[in-house]
Structure formats: C-alpha cells, structure tokens
Amino acid sequence: MNEIGAALTANDWVERMSQLALRQGVHLSTLQQKAGGDLEMFFASATLAFPSGASFTEKEANEILKRFLAGAGVMVATDHVELRRWMVDAGFLQRSDHGTDYRRGAMPDWLSNAAQQLDFERIAGAVGHARSANESQREARRQAWLASQIEVTEGGEGDAKVVGEASADETFMRLALDQAHNAWALSEVPVGAVVVKDNKILATGFNQPIGNADPTAHAEIRAMRAASQLLGNYRLNDCELYVTLEPCAMCAGAMQHARIKRLIYGAADSKTGACGSVIDLFAEPRLNHHTEVRAGVLADESRRLLSSFFVERRELKRQGSLPPDADDAE
C-alpha cells in the first residue's frame, strides 16, 4: 500500500517511474525501506512486461526480466535472478505447481485499477524519455561549466584566444574535475581523481560508493586501484594524485601505503578533510612516508561544482524525485 492508502492512477504510476528513472544504482532493499510503495510499483512495472494469461519457462522469464532491467528498470542495481526471486516472494510472479513455469501474479489493490489502464510500452517509453532528457540536461550543464573555466579575450580578427597557459597542476586538475562530472551523472557526490607519473596519466577515478555499494569507492581509491593494476605494483612511487576535494582519512592512509609522491587537491573539506581541515595525516612525523601536499588548485571550481550538485539534490528532494533521506555519500 502506498503511504496515503489511496489507489494509484495510471498517470501517477508513469510519473513516479519517470522520477525513479533519474536515479542510478538503487538497490531493492533501499526501495523496500522507503514509504510510498516504490518497491511494489517497480515489481508491478516488471510484471506488466509479462503478457497476461501466458505461462513462461524460467529461461523465458529470465529473458523478459533482463530486458526490463536494461530498459524501464535500469535505475535499480540488481540482476534478473534476484529480481525474479523477490517478485515471486512478493506474489507478483507465480510459479506453477511443479515449479518450472511462471505467470503473472495478482496486483495489489492500490495498483490493480491503474494496471488495467497501462501497458508496459507506456512505462518503458516514459522512463526512456526521462533518462534521455536528464542526460541531455546534464551534458548541457557540463559543457557550460567547462566553457566557463576557459578565460578568453577577443583576438585581432575576432578570434578567441586562451589567456595565459594553465600550469601542469591545473591541467591535470581540470581532468579530475571532468571525472567529477561522471560521478554527478550517476547521482554521486562529484569528486574526481587522476593519477599521473612522469607527466603521463596512468589512471582516473570518480566517486561511486552508492552505485557500487562500496564505502571505499572514493575517487582516489578507485584511481589508485586502477593505477596499481596497470603497473602491477601496489606501490605508486613517483606518482602524483590529483583530486578535486581534500581526501578523507581512508584515502589519505591509502596514499601513504601506496607511497604517493605528491598530492594535489582542490577544495578543502571541513567535515572529513585529512590534510589539515580536520586532521593532518600527512604531517604526522611518526609515519614512515611523507607525501608532499599542494592544496587549493582550482579550489573555487571544485567548490562551485559541489555546491551546484547539492543545490540540485535539494531541489530533487523538494520535488519528490528523491526520498527525503536520500544518502549523499562521498
């Protein structure tokens, strides 16, 4: 039952699925914990992908659910086997007496009337349109933001020219900022990182703890993992790490273990920063490795990016596109 106990209209159903489409990497257990019936609505949407009155082998049911998760259900981080099991447990799919075939189950009362007025193609089309429009808006915002970072003046014949030449640190930091936009596109806090050796990029990474269901999946950790795999060595001697936000204690500790030669970061983090904002692990004299630190490179750009992200998050929550307690993991 939804949070107000009322039957849902077909239009409300399509609108809510369109709102859910703006999210990425949502787990079934997360939907289960939220009020409002989102989990049941998701199961019901998948149920509509099964033609009414027909029975399906397990292989056929799996193929239908695979297509659903690649399209209308793409916002949820699960696979067809887990989804099928959850739907059977919840009664949205029924197994035959001999347990090898599947057919549609019964819809909850609050969804049954709307289900009779809907077909799966309408839901899939609405979800696809919402995601496409959202991606277009994000890309437009990203391009506008990148353009705003290039300072130009008018040339002699009206041609724009770049004023000044960015330092190597600024160049690599801009690449880290570009990685941060990848995190934003997945509704993660926009933090990006780049690992460099001898002025060559070894690896990049962006923040994705929510989508990966991994508390260690910070931008720095992901970039260092990729660099270590490339080099075949967990030691990253003579490597420099660029990151848009001051590292936390976990990432700072990993840099020390990896023997990162130099850390360059953008904005300070007054909540979890481990380079002086809260604690300073890099200044601890008892540690056996000391990474050189440069702070504040393109700090304003990094702060603006983070600020814009959280403004958007608050607006999405206000509109109901995100639950009020949606996690903002960094």
| Active centre residues (catalytic) | 220
Q: Which residues contact 109 (CB under 8 A, 6 or more apart)?
A: 1, 7
| C-alpha to C-alpha distance for 232 and 222, rounded to whole angstroms | 15
Strand, helix or coil for residue 240: strand
Cα 10 to Cα 41, 104, 119, 232, 275, distances in angstroms = 11, 19, 10, 54, 52
CA Rg, the chain, in Å? 24
Nearest to 258 by CA among 195, 327, 172, 314: 195
Contact 127, 72 (CB under 8 A): yes
- E strand segments, 227-310: 239-245, 262-267, 292-294
H or E segment at 29? helix 28-33
Largest Cα separation within the chain, whole Å, is 82
Element (H, E) at 81: helix 80-90
265 in Cβ contact with 297 (< 8 Å): yes
Determine the Cα–Cα distance for residues 112 and 89; give it in Å rounded to an integer.
18
Per the structure block, which two tokens stand in for 236? 């990253």
- Decide the pairing of beta strands 152-154 and 101-104: unpaired
What is the C-alpha separation between 132 and 328, in angstroms, rounded? 23
Q: What are phi and psi of 38, to 5 degrees?
A: -60, -40
Residue 249, token pair as written in the block: 């204690």
